Amino acid sequence: MLRPLLLAALLATSIGAQAAQTLVPQKSKLGFVFSQMNTPVDGSFKNYTATIDFDPAKPEAASAQIVIDLASIDVGGPDGNAEAKKKAWFDVAANPKGTFTATTVKALGGGKFETKGKLTIKGISREVVGQMTAKQQGAELVLEGTVPLLRLNYKLGDGAWADTGTVADEVAVKYKLVLTGKAGK
């Protein structure tokens, strides 16, 4: 009796493992742009994982979850990086991870898609909507997109940093996710 259960569990695990495509981290990027004192500032997260299953021919069957190591933030220098990790911003001591989970993907035509999902930062979840493109490049599928958000909705920049004249409320999350393998759905 135990043997058939183990075989079934192994089979289910191997099927699940094949369902998602594999992220190519060295070719992928998860970044953002915000404005500080009316000057655009680029930043990125160096460490994140992504479990994605996306077939451009069947966007409605897509699934995606991205888990971000918030301590890996890079805003261009050690002082800014240290500030971004503090309680007023990402509070990485209490909230080390951020997550995005896709809820729907809809084709817009011409290789463009609308994405909707839940973004959770500092324990606050909000629906976000963005657009992306999907391009097959050899054996790789390249997903590139932008998701606009309002930082104050996630309590990013509490206290004195809540002044949108110093740091704008609008942030554009920009990503390039390179995947290998076939979609499993």
Q: Which residue has the higher pLDDT, 184 or 159?
A: 159
Rounded Cα distance, 51 and 72, in Å? 19
* Domains, the chain, with CATH or none: 20-180 (2.40.128.110)
Q: Identify the residue whose tokens are 């060295």.
A: 26
Judge whether 135 and 110 are in contact, CB under 8 Å.
no
CA 5 → CA 1, 15, 19, distances in Å? 7, 15, 21
How confident is the model at residue 184, as a pLDDT?
Answer: 73
Torsion, CA 58, CA 140, CA 132, CA 152, rounded to 10: 120
Q: What tens digit of pLDDT does each residue of 120-179 get? A: 999 999 999 999 999 999 999 999 999 999 999 999 999 889 999 999 999 999 999 999
pTM of the predicted protein model: 0.86
178: Cβ–Cβ under 8 A, 6 or more apart, which residues?
A: 23, 24, 27, 28, 140, 141, 142, 143
- Of 102, 105, 113, nearest to 60 (Cα)? 105
Q: How many CB atoms lie within 10 A of CB 82?
A: 11
Q: What tens digit of pLDDT does each residue of 39-63 get? A: 999 999 999 999 999 999 999 999 9
Q: Give me 178's structure tokens.
A: 């390179």
Band of pLDDT at residue 183, cut at 50, 70 and 90: confident
- Of 173, 112, 177, 180, nearest to 144 (Cα)? 177
Q: What is the share, in percent, of the chain residues with pLDDT greater than 70?
A: 89
